[in-house]
Amino acid sequence: MSLNLTGVGLTHANGQVALREIDLRVQPGERIAIIGPSGAGKTSLLRLLATSLQPSAGQLELFGQQPWQLGAQQRQQLRGRVGLIHQAPPLPPRQRVVTAVLAGKLGQWSLARSLLSLLHPVDIQGASSALGRLDLADKLFERCDQLSGGQLQRVGIARVLYQAPELILADEPVSAMDPLLAGHTLSVLNQEASARKITLLASLHAVELALAHFPRIIGVREGRIVFDLPPEAISPAELEALYANEQLQSLEAVAPAPPVCVQIPRC
């Protein structure tokens, strides 16, 4: 069993309930799309699975281990087997693309190798081939602040492809790409998952992309799983119910992150 969630709930520090009573079983090699309106808890669910958030209730099992029962060292090892693709990849603006991609393997490399790679990239070939699959090989030595939003997203995906994890979690991985590129990128992720027989969970805003690329669809609304079906079994009425009043909710759900601005005292 790749993932096993029993009665998992998540309450944020400000008291806001993000997820409640989630039961989910995922076998190795499954490819799943998570859909639902904005603010439904898709991102929270993925971050919970990536052990980036600790559940406030219930039990989470990853590859048969309970990450929150492990010591910090073992949990880091477990985390190295999971790759999380962020909607807006958090890459330092001054970092070069090759370094950003190679950072995927930091969990597996020794510290000496990681530091050496900062002086001279140790695996240019590997980074280049991961980028090449996403049509970005020509940006290998560019700086991250010279890329567009869609290109950055693909660098983030290339990092996880290079990491070669056993479980790929993707949070809106194609939200900044045009429809053609989005379709191509999703099929690259799906090919990777089928070829290496690894598990893939992706949250998607575009329902038609989810229905076209994934054999199992999970609908999330207000922190609960509403349905968990193959795409051909989902009725239009169910989709409509899932997204009912989306405009109203999306207005309150999207809160921009506060800008980072800290004064440093100098003497």
The single residue among 15, 94, 197, 254 that binds another protein, judged by CB under 8 A, is 94
Stretch that binds another protein, among 37-45, 112-120, 171-179, 224-232 (CB under 8 A): 112-120
Q: Which long-range contacts (CB under 8 A, 24 or more apart) does 54-57 make?
A: 55/8, 55/9, 55/10, 55/19, 56/9, 56/10, 56/11, 57/7, 57/8, 57/9, 57/10, 57/11
Q: Is 231 a binder of another protein (CB under 8 A)?
A: no
Chain Cα centroid distance, residue 118: 25
Would you count residue 52 as binding another protein (CB under 8 A)? yes
Interface of this chain with another protein, residues 190 to 219, rule: CB under 8 A:
none
56 binds another protein (CB under 8 A): no
The answer to whether 77 contacts another protein (rule: CB under 8 A) is: yes
Among 69, 76, 146, 148, binds another protein (CB under 8 A): 76
**Number of neighbouring beta carbons within 10 Å of residue 239:** 16
Q: Where are the alpha helices (DSSP H) in the chain?
A: 42-49, 72-79, 97-102, 111-119, 124-133, 149-163, 179-196, 207-213, 236-243, 246-253
User: Of 64 and 265, which has the nearer Cβ to another protein?
Assistant: 265
Report helix, strand or coil for 77: helix
Of positions 104, 121, 126, 173, contacts another protein by CB under 8 A: 104
Q: What is the closest distance, in whole angstroms, from the C-beta atom of residue 210 to another protein in the complex?
A: 24
Chain positions 120 to 179 lying near another protein, rule: CB under 8 A, are 163
16 binds another protein (CB under 8 A): no
Looking at the Cβ atoms of 43 and 242, the one nearer to another protein is 43
> Can you give 237-259 as a three-state secondary structure string?
HHHHHHHCCHHHHHHHHCCCCCC
Contact status: 50 vs another protein (CB under 8 A): yes
Rounded Cα–Cα distance for residues 171 and 168 (Å): 10
Give the number of residues in contact with another protein, rule: CB under 8 A.
Answer: 43
Are the CB atoms for 204 and 33 separated by under 8 Å? Answer: yes
Binding site for another protein (CB under 8 A): 12-13, 50-54, 72, 76-84, 86, 89-95, 99, 103-104, 106-109, 111, 114-115, 118, 163, 260, 262, 264-267
